[in-house]
Structure 1
Amino acid sequence: MCAGTVVTLLVLNYIQDNLNWGLGFGIPCVVMVFALIIFLLGTKTYRYSIKGDEESGFLRIGWVFVSSIRNWKATPSAMAFEEETRGTLPHQSSEQYKFLNKALLAPNGLKKDGKVCSLSDVEEAKAVLRLVPIWTTCLVFAIVFAQTSTFFTKQGVTMDRSISPSLDLPAASLQSFISLSIVLFIPIYDRVLVPIARALTSKPSGITMLQRIGSGMFLSVVAMIVAALVEMKRLKTAKEHGLVDLPNVTIPMSVWWLIPQYVLFGVAEAFTMVGLQEFFYDQVPSDLRSVGLSLYLSIFGVGSFLSSFLIFIIEKATGGDGRYSWFANNLNRAHLDYFYWLLAGLSAVQLVFFMYILQNLTFIIGEALYKL
C-alpha cells in the first residue's frame, strides 16, 4: 500500500501542479470506478461465516453497561452474595472497573425480571473499557500526524524545489518520503530489530505492542523538534535575504531540509500506527474485530478535528489587532516553529502519560502477552 502511495504522490501531484487539476482528480476517479467493479465481481468468491445463535458482541457488551447502570444501587453485600452463589473465584473477576460487576445481578434481584449478564460478558466489557486510556493518549500523536499533509507541505511551497532548470518537485510529493520510510524500515524492524529484541527480552515479538506504540511516540517528539529547528532556519534565511514581506518569492533554501522530519515521522508511523492497529484488533472480542479497527482509525479522525480546533484557538490568541498570527498567510511572518515546539511539548507529555500506563499494571491487558 505504501509503495502504491509513493507512485500516486509523485505522479498525480506532478500532473496537478504542472498539467491540469481536472485530470489530476479524474485519474483517481476512473481508477476507483474500476476498483469498485472488480470488488463487486469478486463478491461471489468471498467466504462467508455462518453465525450461530450467539448474540453479537455489541449487544453483549452494551447490555453489561445498561445492567450495571440499572443496578447502580446494589450493595456490596448483594454483590458478595451473588459471587458466592455463582462460585466466582477471586482471580476470575478483575479488580478494575468493579462497578461493571453489578451487571451480574438481575434487575431488582429477581432473575425472572430480566436477563443476567455472565462473567465472561462483564470481562469483555472491561477489556473494551481498558482501551479508553490508550485511545485518549494517542490523540496527540494524531494531531502531529495531521501536520504532515498540511503545514509541512505549506513550508515546502516556499522553498527551492528545483530538480533541474525546467522541473520543480511538487511540495505535496514530499509526503512520499513517509511511505518510502515505512517500506524501507519495516523489513529492518522485522529482520534486524525484532531478533535483537527477542534475544534481550525472550519475548517472541521482541517488544510488546504497547512498547512499539511508545517507541513511535518518542520518534514523533524528535520529528517535531527537528521540524521546529528547520522552520527556524527557514525564517532566518528569509530574513537574511530580505524576503520577509515577499511571500511569493522562493526562499534560497533547499526543500531537502524537510526530508529528515518526513523520514522520522515515517519511522514513527511504522512503530505507532502498526502497533495501534494490532493492539485494537487484538483486544476486542473476536466478533468485534472491525470495531477494534474502527477505534484505531477514529484516533486519527478525532485527532484531525482536535488539530483544527487547536489551530483555531491559537489563531484567535496570537492574531488580530494588526498582529501576525502563528499561522499567517505570509509564512515568513508566521511562526510555525512556535507551533511545532508546542506540539513537541504536548507529545512529550503524551509520552510520559503513556509510559505511566505501561508501568501501571491495572492498564496492562492480557498479562501473558503484555507483562513487562
Structure 2
Amino acid sequence: MCGGLFMTLCILNYIQDNLSWGLGFGIPCIVMGLALVVFLLGSFNYRFCQSSDENNPFIRIGNVFINAARNWQTTTSAISVEQEVQGILPHEGSEQFKFLNKALLAPNGSKENGKICSIDEVEEAKAILRLIPIWTTCLVYAIVFSQSTTLFTKQGATMDRSLDLNFEVPAASLQSFISLSVVIFIPIYDRILVPFARAITGKPSGITMLQRIGTGIFLSILSMVVAAIIEKKRLQTALEHGLVDMPKATVPMSICWLIPQYILFGISEVFTMVGLQEFFYDQVPVELKSIGLSLYLSIFGIGSFLSSFLISVTENITGKDGQISWFSDNLNQAHLDYFYWVLAVLSTIAFTAYLYFSRSYMYNKSSSL
C-alpha cells in the first residue's frame, strides 16, 4: 500500500502542479471507477456467510451498559447471590469495572427472561471499556500526524523547491517520504530490531504491542521538535533576506530541510499505527474484532477533527485584536513553530498518560486471567 502511495504522490502531485488540476483529479477518478467495476464483478464469485444466533455485538454491549445503569442501586450482595444462582465462579469475571456486573440482574430485580446479560457479555463490555484510556491518549498522536498532510505542505510551498532550472518539486510530494520510510523501515524492524529485542526480552515479538505504540508516540514528539526547529530557521532566513512582508516570495532555503520530519513520521507510523492495529484487533474477543478495528480507525478520524478544532481555537486566540495569528496567510509572519511546540508539549503529556494507562492495562489484564 505504501509503495503504491509513494508512486501516486510523486506522479499526481507533479501533474497537478505542472500540468492540470483537472487531469490530476481525473486520473484517480477513472482508476477508482475501474476498480469499482472489478470489485463488483469479483463480488459475484465470492460468498462467505457465517450463521449465528447471537445478537449484534453493538446491541450486546449496549444492553450491558443499559442494564447496569438501570440497576445502579443494586447492592454487591445481590450481585453475588445472582452469580451463585447462575453458577458463575469468582475467577470467571475480572475485578475491573465491577459495576458492570449489575447487568447480570434483570431490571428492578425481576426475573424477566431475555433481559439478563450473561457473564460473557459483561466481559465483552469490560474488554471494550478497558481499551478506552489507551484510545484516548492516542488521539494526540493522530492530531500530530494530521500536520504532515497540511501544515508541512504549506511550509514547503514557500521554500526553494527547484532541483534544476526546469524542474520544481511539488510541495505535497514530500509526503512520499513517509511512505518510503515505512517501506524501508518495516524490513529493518522485522529482520534486525525484533531479533535483537527478542534476544534481550525473550519474547517472540521482541517488544509488546503497547511498547511498540509508545515508541512511535515518542518518535512523533521528536518529529514535532524537529519541525519547530526547522520552521524557526525558515522564519529566520526570511527575515535575513527581507522577505517578511513578501508572502509570495520564495524563501532561499531548500525544501529538503523538511525531509527529516517526514522520515520521523514514517518511522513512527511503523511503530504506532501498525501497533495500534495489532493491539485493538488482538485485545478483544473474536466476536468483537470489527469493533476493535473500528476503534483503531476512529483514532485517526476523530484526531483529524480535533486537529481542525485546535487550529481554529489557536487561530482565534492568537489573531484577536488585530494581531497576526500563528496561521497567517503570510507564513513569513506566522508562527507555525509555536504551534509545533504546543503539539510537542501536548504529545509529551499524552505520552506520560499513555505510559501510566498501559502499565495499568497490563496489570488489570493479568489480574483478570
Fold-level similarity (TM above 0.5): yes
**1:313 counterpart = 2:313:** yes
Who is 1:133 aligned against?
Answer: 133
What is the one-letter code of the residue matched to 1:309? F
Distance 1:147-1:364 versus aligned 2 partners, 3 A rule? farther
1:206-221 correspondence to structure 2 within 5 Å: 206-221=206-221
Distance 1:135-1:361 versus aligned 2 partners, 3 A rule? closer
Partner SS state of residue 252, structure 1 = strand
1:106-255 correspondence to structure 2 within 5 Å: 106-112=106-112, 114-255=114-255
Question: Contact 2:94–2:367 (CA<8 Å) still a contact in 1?
Answer: no
Partner SS state of residue 154, structure 2 = helix
Who is 2:63 aligned against?
Answer: 63
Distance 1:102-1:176 versus aligned 2 partners, 3 A rule? same
Distance 1:277-1:34 versus aligned 2 partners, 3 A rule? same
Who is 1:50 aligned against?
Answer: 50
Q: 1:59-92: per-residue Cα shift (whole Å, max 9, x none)?
A: 2212111211121111112112112333433322
Question: Contact 1:107–1:113 (CA<8 Å) still a contact in 2?
Answer: no
User: Aligned equivalents of 1:73 and 1:90: distance in 2?
Assistant: 22
User: Aligned equivalents of 1:84 and 1:4: distance in 2?
Assistant: 57
Gaps (5+ residues) in structure 2?
none
Who is 1:14 aligned against?
Answer: 14
TM-score by length of 1: 0.95
Greater shift, 86-95 or 150-159, is seen at: 86-95
Distance 1:146-1:8 versus aligned 2 partners, 3 A rule? same
Distance 1:337-1:364 versus aligned 2 partners, 3 A rule? farther
Question: Contact 1:328–1:334 (CA<8 Å) still a contact in 2?
Answer: yes
What is the one-letter code of the residue matched to 1:168? E
What is the one-letter code of the residue matched to 1:69? A
The share of aligned pairs that are identical, in percent, is 65
Question: Contact 1:357–1:363 (CA<8 Å) still a contact in 2?
Answer: no
User: How many pairs does the alignment contain?
Assistant: 369
**What is the CA RMSD across the aligned residues, in angstroms?**
1.6
Shift of 1:273: 0.5
What is the one-letter code of the residue matched to 1:21? W
What is the one-letter code of the residue matched to 1:185? F
TM-score by length of 2: 0.96
Who is 2:299 aligned against?
Answer: 299
Gaps (5+ residues) in structure 1?
none
Partner SS state of residue 42, structure 1 = helix
Distance 1:227-1:305 versus aligned 2 partners, 3 A rule? same
